[in-house]
Amino acid sequence: MQKRKLGNSNLEVSALGLGCMRMSFGDAPIGDKQEMIAFLHKAVERGVTFFDTAEVYGPFTNEELVGEALEPFKGQVVIATKFGFKHGDNGPAPGSGLDSRPEQIKRVAEASLKRLRVEAIDLFYQHRPDPNVPVEEVAGAVKDLIQEGKVKHFGLSESDAPTIRRAHAVQPVTALQSEYSIWWTPIEAEILPTLEELGIGLVPYSPLGRGYLTGKIDASQTFASNDIRSRNPRFTAEAIKANQGVIDLLARIGQERNATPAQIALAWLLAQKPWIVPIPGSRKIERLEENNGAVNIQLTPTDLSEIKAAMAQITVVGDRY
């Protein structure tokens, strides 16, 4: 597995990371715990060193799973987790409201350290911008944690360019996590140039369009009620059918390269900038190995121009949420 550095930081990780959310949250059925621990061990054996989780996934169960599975590999792997949701009776949950007050950030850090079984959190993201807390206060709280040795790197997620600049002025931002893929590119206008200027890495989530860009989903597919895609406008039968042109494009380029649509979609991301590290989610070893194969595919400038021209002719149907 090749390595990459996230921006100007000294944080070196595998060129492809692994999104761990679906191992215990947000999908049906969720993975068996022992199977998922074995899977995470196989991912490390295959050179993956960058793992993404969050306290809100579960809540808490995903951090516990990742912490238990990766404890034998301390010092060899990088674990990213997140703060930023309000805690209710059962912990934080998406939709429960945002809470990035400094005192809350510090409480979350202490609890995450225990669940992840580490002395310091490698990369600590604000999960979503909190309109009620100035980002300078958020950055200041993480700066305190870094000075205390409890956090190594500060990250943001889904933040706009002005917010990134304001945070970076208080505590250098190592990475931005944001949705980015061949069919979701709005961050190219302002955010990517800002990251390049400031020396911040990009960690794209949903790099395979929540599975659509694998080419394995068709209009007849149905999703369980607790699968996020059952409520996603891009996964209605009409949208799946309407967006087939994207898959056809990936498949055509893949045929020339003896590669799958998923591998071309990931290779496209890797070709954009050397400081981009996608984190496809996976629970099956064959999917992990397929994804990892993308690092060996070199798309030429001609390929990239062809993809750009072809995508400009395709109107992607359905909002991402």
Neighbours of 288 (CB within 10 A): 19
Helices (H), 14-74: 33-45, 61-70
Annotation says 57 is catalytic: yes
Compute the distance between CA of residue 130 and CA of residue 108 in angstroms, rounded to an integer. Answer: 15
> How far, CA to CA in Å, does 162 sit from each of 130, 134, 159, 189, 198?
14, 12, 8, 13, 12
Residue 49: which of 12, 6, 81 has the closest Cα? Answer: 12
Query: Out of 57, 125, 180, 205, which one is annotated catalytic?
Result: 57
E-assigned strand segments in 2-138: 3-5, 12-14, 18-19, 50-52, 78-83, 87-88, 91-92, 121-126
167 touches 173 (CB < 8 A): yes
Compute the distance between CA of residue 277 and CA of residue 275 in angstroms, rounded to an integer. Answer: 7
Residue 287: which of 265, 262, 308, 304 has the closest Cα? Answer: 262
Structure tokens at 22: 């679906």
Three-class DSSP category at 273? coil
Residue 14: which of 49, 54, 38 has the closest Cα? Answer: 49
- Asked if the peptide bond before residue 92 counts as cis, ω within 30 degrees of 0, the response is no
Please list the active-site residues.
Answer: 57
